[in-house]
Amino acid sequence: MKVSVFGLGYVGCVMTACLAREGHEVVGVDVNPEKVETVAGGESPIEEPGVGEAIAEGVAEERIEATTDATAAVLDSSVSFLTVGTPLDDTGQLSTTNLYNVVDSMVEAVDEKGNHRVVVRSTVPPSTTRSLREYMDSKTAEGTDVDFAVNPEFLREGAAMDDFFDPPYVVVGTFEGDAAEDLVNLYRTLGLDGEVRTVAPEEAESLKMVNNAFHALKICFANEVGSLASAAGVDGRELMDLVQSDRKLNVSEQYLDPGFAFGGSCLPKDSRAIATIAEDNGVSAPLLDSIPESNDAHIERVRDRVESVDGSTVGIVGIAFKSDTTDMRNSPGLRLAKQLDDEVLFYADGLDPSEAVGSNRDYLDKTMPDLTDRLVSDPDSFLDRADVVVFANNCARPELTTRLEDTPVCDPVGTVPEVADDVPEYHSVSW
């Protein structure tokens, strides 16, 4: 396949080198004539293991050429990858100006061909590719067919070629009605082990930034933990090695699904305690310190969504902080109830607050001493009185879900997604 790569920076050069190494023909395009001359001369404008050798070989075997002529590149290729930079602008947003400039440069050739494939590989905010697609449609002649896709890259500098050929997955964001077969087939020719995942364009666009934010979060977390450990006389690397060795809870999919706030006795207590320990040891740990605040903010988000529903009475299902337990300490359902201005009822789902003992009893007496008075045990009575029902933990109640036809639902945990099409309003909040 012959492809054009717009932007001979880091991502563009790596892609050019990798595709050419596997036998594809690549036209590199850039507005900077120095970069073009460098690549055309068989050299790489970036320092990255393996890239220089692959470009030299590709040019020598006439699989790589470089040009400043966008029209010629589009006419000579079946698909164009956009890998231009999207730097931060003065407002802190990613600037997409370079992408629109590329689209402008492609219009003449696209019209002449009558059809083309455009793949956005630059890091962009959600909906950027949709806007570029609409912009291209407004610029091209009637009847010209241009398919767009999003294909985020997951490359680490210093290991980019290895990452290109051994990705965790290949993600392709496609629009309904636009063909993605060319792109999928291109990756299949590379013999990659990673699964090809086809998703919505906005999801693909978001993924790159979310992945990078998660990587940054892990680095900051490890550094704060290491600094705290060092201040306490503990080897931070040995400590984090133990953390990483837990593949069941720590380095796994556990706790990574958007849902409701955390509760119970351990996470609220220990997330506050570790921040206090850091402060007492003179260690600045803003990330650790912000965990309880972030959890509180999520309860407020759910509160705002609940209060957006018309009505004066909120029915909460889920008194314990999660299902299959009687622990009500820091229950998100109870904490939500404390923040609501509306009347609040709780469905008596087999948990009797009068039987609570010890710290569980102390928590209830302190936060919601009138809980028993708010309990409703009959499902029909509960639904008759509730203007909106909130499922606050992951315990579904069939006796309720079969009667929800006329009642709006707020379901932050994802307990009853099957009722979404059957109720007047369904609010998931974060998923």
Q: Consult the annotation and say whether 123 binds a ligand.
A: yes
CA distance 86 to 122: 7
Burial (CB count within 10 angstroms: exposed 0-12, middle 13-18, buried 19+), residue 30: buried
Q: Consult the annotation and say whether 154 binds a ligand.
A: yes
CA distance 96 to 101: 9
Joined tokens for residue 34: 């120095």
Q: Consult the annotation and say whether 114 binds a ligand.
A: no
Q: Consult the annotation and say whether 35 binds a ligand.
A: yes
Q: Consult the annotation and say whether 338 binds a ligand.
A: no
> What amino acid occupies position 236?
G
Q: Consult the annotation and say whether 174 binds a ligand.
A: no
Q: Judge whether 257 and 431 are in contact, CB under 8 Å.
A: yes
Q: Consult the annotation and say whether 372 binds a ligand.
A: no
Pairing label, strands 169-174, 145-150: antiparallel
State the angle between helix axes of 286-307 and 266-280 in degrees (0 to 180), rounded to the nearest 10: 140
CA distance 183 to 381: 56
266 is catalytic: yes
Helix (H) or strand (E) holding 115, with range, is strand 115-120
Q: Consult the annotation and say whether 188 binds a ligand.
A: no
Q: Consult the annotation and say whether 255 binds a ligand.
A: yes
Q: Consult the annotation and say whether 175 binds a ligand.
A: no
Q: Consult the annotation and say whether 257 binds a ligand.
A: yes
Q: Consult the annotation and say whether 288 binds a ligand.
A: no
Q: Which of 13, 18, 266, 395 is catalytic?
A: 266
Q: Consult the annotation and say whether 329 binds a ligand.
A: yes
352-361 contacts at long range (C-beta below 8 A, 24 or more positions apart): 353/319, 353/328, 355/326, 356/326, 356/328, 359/265, 359/329, 360/326, 360/327, 360/328, 360/329
Q: Consult the annotation and say whether 139 binds a ligand.
A: no
| Triad 245, 251, 252: Cα angle to 5° | 130
Binding residues for NAD(+): 30, 35, 86, 123, 157, 269, 329
Tell me the binding residues for substrate. 154-157, 208, 255-259, 263, 322
Residues annotated as catalytic are 266
Residues belonging to the binding site are 30, 35, 86, 123, 154-157, 208, 255-259, 263, 269, 322, 329
